[in-house]
Structure 1
């Protein structure tokens, strides 16, 4: 038999050892079971991968109070749209049944593009413009076997959306030759060639939007001729024509566009520096310091628009235009039109 002093010493040492809570003990036993299981390969490569993939799935629940807006990228898979509310999500439901209806009040079909799971989740695998609209789900259930069935009706508004096209627009002014002079036309071509060479390695292109010559009355001075240039810098694969032309890293269009902007800003700054160091008289055509202005511009494809007030959960998205609106060109606004009855109208 141990002496009393040894017993007390041993108990004191054991009390210092960290003890696992029941939850930790459970996971430890589960882990040891998996290690000992002959099907450990199945768990690691199949079952665990499935758990990870399911954890990444975005899910939306309905609301008693208002239709829930859900945004689905065009031609992509939708999030899982659950026919249930947040309050009922973690509640046991007896004999639940789910019935989904399309915007034209027909039963949602089960095909390669859309599926309703056994638990009532609506999933689109290739969301198209025509799929936009108000979907209704009817949930019938009991909380206990003895009670009367309850029916809950939930509405979801599904919108197709795309990422906006974008570019930088530059305006700059040059002191020029007389407005009818051929030298102005020649200078314009050379300027565009230089700017294009600056950004070509970034897979960006320069587009001349407008070039105008005006007579400008200077403050407390006479008239002078000025060229007003407006040009755009566009990432090649971000345009509306042709496939992705990006072949050189980095391929992120925003990063390349910002680098192109910095190069162009430096080019105009260097023009000022060269003129300040020049000892000879100024040339007939030269950049007017401080006139360079740069604006970031977003564009949506026809039938889509941006509206942060209407779509606060997707403020930077080009969302398909609602019935009663349309967008005929590559702008960012869906315009009012009472005769347009479909989503994504391009004509009024």
Structure 2
């Protein structure tokens, strides 16, 4: 009765290969099993106990060798032609005889040989205009010979393909003003004028200013009575350059981070100048004026719904917004994929 065993070459799993002939017992897995059996037999004899064949060890070894490690691949959303090679680094520059490639796409995803995915003669899987629906586990089986006389070997590779996009950024500002009585028309007029100035400041930098909150409160001051204050919270977001070409815009003026930093500097200077004007003012303070030191700035990172950032799960793409894996979701523009055991798709936006 013939047996089969698996041959282990480096980190690759090759086989199964029939025992006998030139291959014989030279497979790495059989050598390990034989040594383990001899060692266990020797220990059992020394202890005068009944010898039990190490079948569990043999089973575990075979299961371990059959496991195909998954390789994580990150593909930029809407990238025109990313491709995956069905070959290992060790075999990439080695002559292979009669290689054959077979790709298996995730169930429900774009299968090979359709309008979105193609397989080349060399076995590369090419995506056309990659979208988030193409995320998933892709399996490639490579069969080949090193020599014409050698038995055919089979190598299986698994790739977990994740759609990702670059995060978007914004600055969030909060500021306070001494104001007229809450509900006064002067407060409304002042707010409108201030927003016009701020929008004009960042407009030339292709940034957008959005008012997030405007509230009037009565504030009890230390060793003083009540006073009225306006609380403003607004954000500044870079406007996309409108091009679909990746890295087409290389000028520094296209960099959203640089534009944001310039906008931040202009806004900070705007409030500093208000303090300087008040210090030089000889007349009494106006009814509405900026309260020195109340400007606060927070840098915020955004991912689109269905995406998140996790350096532990995705160490090769720690600053990317990676699509949420099955079992997680992100309902809003945050940076975390939340756990959801009933979510079975990539990029879930609800649980």
CA distance in 2, matches of 1:102, 1:154: 12
Q: Does structure 1 residue 147 correspond to structure 2 residue 181?
A: no
Alignment gaps of 5+ in structure 2: 1-66, 243-248
CA distance in 2, matches of 1:165, 1:105: 30
CA contact (8 A) 1:301 1:329 kept: yes
In the TM superposition, residue 315 of structure 1 has moved relative to its aligned partner by: 2.3
CA distance in 2, matches of 1:347, 1:141: 45
CA distance in 2, matches of 1:293, 1:137: 53
Runs of 4+ deviating beyond 6 Å: none
Cα deviation digits, residues 140-170 of structure 1 (max 9, x gap): 2222333322211111011112222322111
Q: 2:347 aligns with which of 316, 332, 344?
A: 344
Partner of 2:56: none
Q: Does structure 1 residue 113 correspond to structure 2 residue 113?
A: no
In the TM superposition, residue 330 of structure 1 has moved relative to its aligned partner by: 2.1
Q: Does structure 1 residue 94 correspond to structure 2 residue 97?
A: yes
Q: Does structure 1 residue 126 correspond to structure 2 residue 129?
A: yes
Q: How does 1:282-293 map to 2 (within 5 A)?
A: 282-293=285-296
Q: Hey, which of these two has a bigger chunk of helix by percent?
A: 1
**Cα root mean square deviation, aligned:** 2.6
CA distance in 2, matches of 1:125, 1:106: 14
Q: How does 1:248-267 map to 2 (within 5 A)?
A: 250-267=253-270
CA contact (8 A) 2:110 2:134 kept: no
CA contact (8 A) 1:72 1:78 kept: no
Q: How does 1:272-287 map to 2 (within 5 A)?
A: 272-287=275-290
Partner of 1:75: 78
Indicate the SS of the match to 2:85: strand
Q: Does structure 1 residue 196 correspond to structure 2 residue 191?
A: no
Q: Does structure 1 residue 172 correspond to structure 2 residue 178?
A: no
**Counterparts in 2 of 1:342 and 1:107: CA distance versus 1, 3 Å:** closer
CA distance in 1, matches of 2:146, 2:111: 26
CA contact (8 A) 1:138 1:154 kept: yes
Cα deviation digits, residues 28-64 of structure 1 (max 9, x gap): xxxxxxxxxxxxxxxxxxxxxxxxxxxxxxxxxxxx8
**Counterparts in 2 of 1:148 and 1:212: CA distance versus 1, 3 Å:** same
Partner of 1:186: 189
Aligned length: 278
TM-score after normalising by structure 1:
0.73
**Counterparts in 2 of 1:107 and 1:301: CA distance versus 1, 3 Å:** closer
CA distance in 2, matches of 1:125, 1:185: 52
